[in-house]
């Protein structure tokens, strides 16, 4: 008998991880990045009020955070015009996706996503033994109709759709998503990941009734709110599903300073508006840089731009490798045909300048091979 005796599922899981962190790459290359624009973090940072709240809370970090996330949940409910019972707060969308999958997906249960969409969702589905069905992107967009049709075909318990999409940055109108939801099969929950919706055009957020049992929406303070390192995400859904999280979540899992920071960030709408402007400007600059190098930027409703490098995944990977080598941390889509692109997060002046300098060299060295 070996020790430990893992569950058959745990034994079957690969040791792969969803993402290699930039710190790991920095250790490998032996130097820090000069531009950290690969993980769709917000270089514009959080509201100064959020920073101040977190710094103040550091002095009271000897106390556990409120396991009910009461104040933050109530503030979010007021912000969205829903009830506190419609909101669960968790350790980033990643943490919430894990809990959601755990609640719904067991061995062999069918789940549907797009081929090349968020790997951490796939990681959780595999981690609970689900059977994942992948639908191709259509014209670089996730394809709600095809996703929901596949969900009906395989009797899926859960279907994942990011709007706006990561890694392509494309989007659908929220109204179109809601219309497409009519085709969701009975007994299927749509997890609608709206991580980037705060920098998307008006009308992108799905106008879903908070108590609609067919859908749970994911939001985060990691992207436009600039607090990725704090680990604060939340989900909006029907009270039954929301309260089910209490059966499995890490009740004392939230960092107390992060709770305070998120609350302060939510209240600073001026800062949010300013970051939205900075993101829009940075997207335009990244797009211009792409075009001036003969590449095609995809339209984006996110805080990053996917840039079509005009060839296949091997070519794009070579461009990416050269950028990384030059100290510019960027990432790229995992699946074809999206992997003809590189994905560049919005940066400030320093990051944009570094990218602008590095891209021509990356293209030249790649084309020279």
Please, which residue, 318 or 346, has the CB nearer to a copy of itself? 346
Task: Check residue 247 for interaction with a copy of itself (CB under 8 A).
Answer: yes
Residues found in the chain: 369
- For residue 202, with 0-12 CB atoms within 10 Å meaning exposed, 13-18 middle and 19 or more buried, which class applies? exposed
CA distances from 62 to 34, 54, 56, 137, 252 (A): 35, 14, 12, 47, 13
Task: Check residue 17 for interaction with a copy of itself (CB under 8 A).
Answer: yes
Please, which residue, 17 or 364, has the CB nearer to a copy of itself? 17
In the complex, least distance from residue 43 CB atom to a copy of itself, rounded to whole angstroms = 6
Selected range binding a copy of itself among 136-144, 162-170, 201-209, 224-232, rule: CB under 8 A? 224-232
Task: Check residue 89 for interaction with a copy of itself (CB under 8 A).
Answer: no
Site string for a copy of itself, 140-159 (x = CB under 8 A): -----------------x--
Please, which residue, 102 or 141, has the CB nearer to a copy of itself? 102
Task: Check residue 182 for interaction with a copy of itself (CB under 8 A).
Answer: no
Tell me if residue 226 falls in helix, strand or coil. coil
Tell me if residue 275 falls in helix, strand or coil. helix
Task: Check residue 139 for interaction with a copy of itself (CB under 8 A).
Answer: no
Q: Which of residues 260-319 bind a copy of itself (CB under 8 A)?
A: 261
Selected range binding a copy of itself among 88-96, 144-152, 169-177, 317-325, rule: CB under 8 A? 88-96
Task: Check residue 252 for interaction with a copy of itself (CB under 8 A).
Answer: yes
Which residue in the set 31, 58, 273, 336 belongs to the binding site for a copy of itself (CB under 8 A)? 58
In eight-state DSSP terms, residue 84 is: G
Q: Cα–Cα distance between 347 and 328 in angstroms, integer?
A: 11
Which residue in the set 253, 310, 327, 337 belongs to the binding site for a copy of itself (CB under 8 A)? 253
| CB contact at 8 A, 207 and 182 | no
Q: Which of residues 319-348 bind a copy of itself (CB under 8 A)?
A: none
In the complex, least distance from residue 251 CB atom to a copy of itself, rounded to whole angstroms = 5
Joined tokens for residue 214: 């067919």
Joined tokens for residue 183: 């085709």
Residue whose structure tokens are 């990218």: 355
Task: Check residue 39 for interaction with a copy of itself (CB under 8 A).
Answer: yes
Strand segments (E) across 202-289: 215-220, 233-236
Task: Check residue 4 for interaction with a copy of itself (CB under 8 A).
Answer: yes
Question: HSE (CB half, 13 Å, CA atoms) of 6?
Answer: 6
Please, which residue, 70 or 79, has the CB nearer to a copy of itself? 70
Tell me if residue 343 falls in helix, strand or coil. strand
Task: Check residue 350 for interaction with a copy of itself (CB under 8 A).
Answer: no
Task: Check residue 227 for interaction with a copy of itself (CB under 8 A).
Answer: yes
Tell me if residue 93 falls in helix, strand or coil. helix
Task: Check residue 108 for interaction with a copy of itself (CB under 8 A).
Answer: no
In the complex, least distance from residue 72 CB atom to a copy of itself, rounded to whole angstroms = 12
Selected range binding a copy of itself among 66-74, 76-84, 161-169, 171-179, rule: CB under 8 A? 66-74
CA distances from 316 to 114, 190, 321, 322, 354 (A): 21, 32, 9, 10, 18
Please, which residue, 25 or 365, has the CB nearer to a copy of itself? 25
The edge-to-edge listing of strands for the beta sheet with 158-162 is: 87-90, 233-236, 215-220, 189-193, 158-162, 110-114, 131-135
């Amino acid at each position: 008998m070996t020790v430990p005796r893992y569950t058959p599922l745990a034994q079957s899981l690969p040791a792969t991880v969803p993402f290699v962190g930039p710190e790991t790459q920095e250790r490998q290359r032996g130097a820090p990045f000069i531009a950290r624009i690969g993980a769709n973090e917000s270089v514009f940072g959080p509201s100064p009020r959020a920073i101040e709240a977190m710094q103040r809370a550091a002095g009271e970090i000897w106390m556990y955070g409120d396991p009910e996330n009461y104040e933050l949940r109530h503030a979010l409910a007021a912000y969205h015009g829903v009830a506190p019972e419609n909101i669960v707060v968790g350790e980033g969308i990643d943490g919430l996706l894990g809990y959601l999958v755990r609640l719904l997906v067991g061995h062999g249960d069918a789940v549907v996503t797009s081929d090349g969409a968020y790997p951490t969702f796939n990681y959780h589905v595999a981690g609970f033994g689900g059977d994942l069905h992948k639908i191709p992107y259509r014209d670089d967009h996730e394809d709600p109709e095809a996703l929901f049709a596949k969900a009906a075909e395989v009797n899926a318990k859960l279907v994942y759709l990011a709007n706006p999409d990561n890694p392509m940055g494309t989007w659908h109108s929220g109204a179109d998503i809601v219309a497409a939801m009519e085709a969701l099969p009975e007994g299927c929950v749509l997890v609608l990941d709206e991580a980037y919706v705060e920098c998307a055009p008006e009308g992108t957020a799905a106008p879903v009734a908070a108590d609609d049992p067919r859908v749970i929406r994911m939001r985060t303070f990691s992207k436009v709110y600039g607090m990725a390192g704090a680990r604060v995400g939340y989900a909006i859904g029907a009270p039954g599903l929301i309260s089910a999280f209490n059966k499995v979540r890490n009740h004392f899992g939230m960092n107390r300073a992060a709770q305070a920071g998120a609350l302060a960030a939510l209240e600073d709408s001026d800062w949010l508006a300013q970051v939205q402007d900075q993101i829009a400007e940075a997207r335009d600059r990244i797009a211009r840089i792409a075009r001036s190098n003969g590449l095609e930027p995809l339209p984006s409703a996110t805080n990053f731009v996917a840039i079509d490098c005009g060839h296949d995944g091997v070519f794009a990977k070579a461009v990416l490798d050269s950028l990384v080598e030059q100290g510019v941390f960027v990432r790229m889509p995992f699946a074809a045909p999206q992997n003809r692109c590189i994905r560049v997060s919005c940066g400030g002046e320093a990051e944009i300048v570094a990218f602008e300098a590095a891209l021509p060299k990356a293209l030249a060295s790649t084309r020279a091979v």
